[in-house]
Every structure is written in structure tokens, then in C-alpha cells.
């Protein structure tokens, strides 16, 4: 691949492509690493029953980056119209008083969380039959809070860990993403990719997207050489 073509590929990858944001139930692949989490999401749809069973209408999904937590959060939004919290504030507190459902993605990465405000927010969710889905890379026991009451509440909520996909699951994801782009590779090439790519959903999507752009640019049958070039591009 020429340097000019590589730069063009990288530039195209920087563009906001719509398919990256399409995360819903229909394109979620169920596997042993996420079946418990998806089952809890389905249960979470009935807040009254969920609260009876687990005390708090709060569900925490935790696991490494790229394990599918945000995809599950989008599934929850799809079935409940929950609101993603982008910047936690008094606005969210007022919405909680109206029984709104929320998704707090990457909770552990929030800087300077107003814990006093958050515990009031938490209490309003309890009182008004709202719900809160939290995703985090850390387990609840690993998240540090200044307020002991808030720490106790969070640790009392039901939580489940999502692991990174194993080889079989990664293979299934790769095949699906390739077929969505009308790209068909033999098993040998797919296994070659699986053994060398980062073990998460983002890496698979980026690989397929890059390969698709390259194949459209070069208008040739996909080869092992091209696959190696794409793997090199997404690693840099």
C-alpha cells in the first residue's frame, strides 16, 4: 500500500460513520460471556419486579473496555428510552424526581463527581420508580467514594461482570461484521485475524471498516497481504 493511500484510509476512518453508533438488540451477539448481563437487562425492563428482587432499581455492568458494556446500555435505552448522562448535574436530579430512567456510561471515569448531589439523585430514583444503569471498567468494590453512605449504596446494588470475548465468540463477531459489509473470507484468513487482533469489539469493527475501505479503493480480491496491512494500520 502506498503512503498516500494509507493516509487517505486513516482520514476516512476519522469520519463519523453512522454504523458505529448503531448498537441495538438485533445486532447483539449472545454468548456465555454476556448472557447473564443481557438477562439482567431484560429483567431490568420491569422496574417494580426488579426492585422487589434486588432492592434497588440500579444495575451495574463492569468489565474491560471493549467488552460490550456500552452496546448493552444502548439495548437498555432502546427498550426503556433511558437517558444517557453526559454531564451529571442538577438537571438529572430534577428529571429523577419525574421517574426518568438513566444510563451512566463509564461511571468510574467521571472526574470530580458531586457525591452529595449523586446520593440525592440516587434517592429520587428509589422514590419515583426510575432506574439507573451504570457501566464501569472497575467493579463496585474498586470504586472509591468520599461518602460512606454512597459507597455502601453502590456496593449493595446488583452487578455483573462482562469478560472480553474468547476466540470462538470473537470469530462469530468477525464473521457477522464481515458479512454485513458483504466481505467473505475463508476460515484460514479469519483465524489469522483472530490470532493477531486486539480482543475486543472495537478492534473488530475498526478492522472490518478499514478492510472495507481498502477493498473499495483497490477494487481487488482481498489478500493476506492486505489483511496484514490493515492489522498494521489499526495498531498504529
Task: Tell me how many domains the chain contains.
Answer: 2
Residues 6+ apart with CB under 8 A from 221: none
Co-location of 156 and 57 in the same domain: yes
What percent of the chain shows pLDDT beyond 90? 58
176 pLDDT above the threshold of 70:
yes
Which pLDDT score, from 0 to 100, does residue 18 have? 36
Question: Are 56 and 126 in contact, with CB atoms under 8 Å apart?
Answer: yes
Co-location of 90 and 128 in the same domain: yes
Co-location of 119 and 144 in the same domain: yes
- CATH number of the domain bearing residue 198: 1.10.8
CA 54 to chain centre: 23
Co-location of 128 and 45 in the same domain: yes
Co-location of 104 and 215 in the same domain: no
Which pLDDT score, from 0 to 100, does residue 4 have? 53
Co-location of 136 and 177 in the same domain: no
Co-location of 13 and 121 in the same domain: no
pLDDT tens-digit series, residues 81-107: 899 999 999 999 999 999 999 999 999
pLDDT tens-digit series, residues 199-228: 888 889 899 999 998 888 877 889 999 999
Among residues 98, 127, 161, which one ends one of the domains?
A: 161
Residue 193: pLDDT band with limits 50, 70, 90:
very high
Co-location of 175 and 198 in the same domain: yes
Query: Is pLDDT larger for residue 105 or for residue 1?
Result: 105
Co-location of 10 and 57 in the same domain: no
Among residues 139, 161, 183, which one ends one of the domains?
A: 161
As a whole number, mean pLDDT of residues 140-145 equals 94
Which pLDDT score, from 0 to 100, does residue 14 have? 40
Among residues 127, 161, 195, which one ends one of the domains?
A: 161
Q: What whole-number distance in Å separates Cα of residue 93 and Cα of residue 120?
A: 7
Co-location of 141 and 199 in the same domain: no
Which pLDDT score, from 0 to 100, does residue 2 have? 52
24 pLDDT above the threshold of 80:
no
Strand partners of residue 60: 134, 159
* Residues of the domain holding 180: 3-25+165-235
Phi, psi torsion values for 204, nearest 5 degrees: -65, -45
- CATH number of the domain bearing residue 91: 3.40.50.300
Co-location of 169 and 58 in the same domain: no
Which pLDDT score, from 0 to 100, does residue 23 have? 59
CA end-to-end span of the chain, whole Å? 15
Mean pLDDT of the residues in the chain: 86
Co-location of 38 and 68 in the same domain: yes
Residues 6+ apart with CB under 8 A from 77: 83, 84, 103
Alpha helices, DSSP H only, in 30-162? 35-44, 47-54, 69-80, 90-96, 115-127, 148-156
17 pLDDT above the threshold of 50:
no
3 pLDDT above the threshold of 60:
no
Amino acid at each position: 500500500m502506498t503512503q498516500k493511500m494509507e493516509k487517505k484510509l486513516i482520514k476516512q476512518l476519522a469520519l463519523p460513520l453512522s454504523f458505529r453508533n448503531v448498537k441495538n438488540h438485533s445486532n447483539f451477539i449472545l454468548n456465555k460471556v454476556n448472557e447473564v448481563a443481557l438477562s439482567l437487562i431484560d429483567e431490568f425492563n420491569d422496574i417494580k419486579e426488579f426492585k422487589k428482587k434486588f432492592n434497588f432499581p440500579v444495575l451495574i455492568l463492569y468489565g474491560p473496555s471493549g467488552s460490550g458494556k456500552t452496546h448493552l446500555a444502548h439495548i437498555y435505552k432502546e427498550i426503556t428510552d433511558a437517558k444517557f448522562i453526559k454531564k451529571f448535574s442538577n438537571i438529572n436530579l430534577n428529571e429523577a424526581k419525574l421517574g426518568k430512567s438513566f444510563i451512566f456510561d463509564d461511571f468510574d471515569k467521571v472526574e470530580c463527581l458531586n457525591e452529595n448531589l449523586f446520593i440525592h439523585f440516587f434517592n429520587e430514583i428509589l422514590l419515583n420508580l426510575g432506574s439507573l444503569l451504570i457501566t464501569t471498567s472497575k467493579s463496585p468494590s474498586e470504586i472509591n467514594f468520599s461518602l460512606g453512605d454512597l459507597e455502601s449504596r453502590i456496593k449493595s446494588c446488583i452487578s455483573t461482570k462482562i469478560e472480553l470475548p474468547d476466540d470462538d465468540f470473537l470469530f462469530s463477531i468477525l464473521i457477522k461484521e464481515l458479512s454485513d459489509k458483504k466481505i467473505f473470507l475463508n476460515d484460514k484468513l479469519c483465524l489469522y485475524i483472530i490470532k493477531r487482533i486486539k480482543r475486543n469489539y472495537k478492534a473488530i469493527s475498526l478492522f472490518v471498516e478499514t478492510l472495507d475501505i481498502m477493498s473499495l479503493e483497490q477494487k481487488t480480491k482481498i489478500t493476506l497481504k492486505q489483511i496484514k496491512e490493515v492489522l498494521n494500520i489499526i495498531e498504529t
